[in-house]
């Protein structure tokens, strides 16, 4: 499990998330929701927004549980992976 966490953190950094808390948030979400979560269009957009003034955490904090459930369902069905 430690290797997966390290890989997720590295991916978050590679995606340009500079804030350590943002990196940890995305890594945890990848572990809990789906390992390719970063490919979902909503999540990709949130990551892009975090390259500006916003943080990834701030962008995704207001997302409802229903939204996360839908994202997970879409990811599990392979509907959003390029």
Question: Quick check: 10 pLDDT over 70?
Answer: yes
pTM here?
Answer: 0.89
Please answer whether residues 19 and 46 qualify as being in contact, where contact means their C-beta atoms are separated by less than 8 angstroms.
no
Give the confidence band of 7 by pLDDT, cuts at 50, 70, 90: very high
Alpha helices in 1-82 (DSSP H): 2-14, 20-32, 41-49, 56-61, 65-76
pLDDT computed for residue 82 by the predictor: 54
For residue range 30-82, list pLDDT tens digits in order. Answer: 999 999 999 999 999 999 999 988 999 999 999 999 999 999 999 999 876 55
């Amino acid at each position: 499990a430690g290797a997966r966490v390290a890989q997720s953190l590295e991916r978050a950094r590679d995606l340009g998330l500079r804030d350590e808390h943002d990196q940890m948030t995305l890594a945890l979400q990848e572990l809990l929701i789906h390992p390719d979560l970063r490919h979902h269009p909503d999540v990709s957009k949130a990551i892009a927004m975090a390259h500006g003034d916003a943080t990834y955490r701030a962008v995704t904090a207001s997302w409802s549980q229903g939204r996360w459930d839908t994202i997970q369902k879409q990811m599990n069905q392979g509907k959003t992976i390029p």
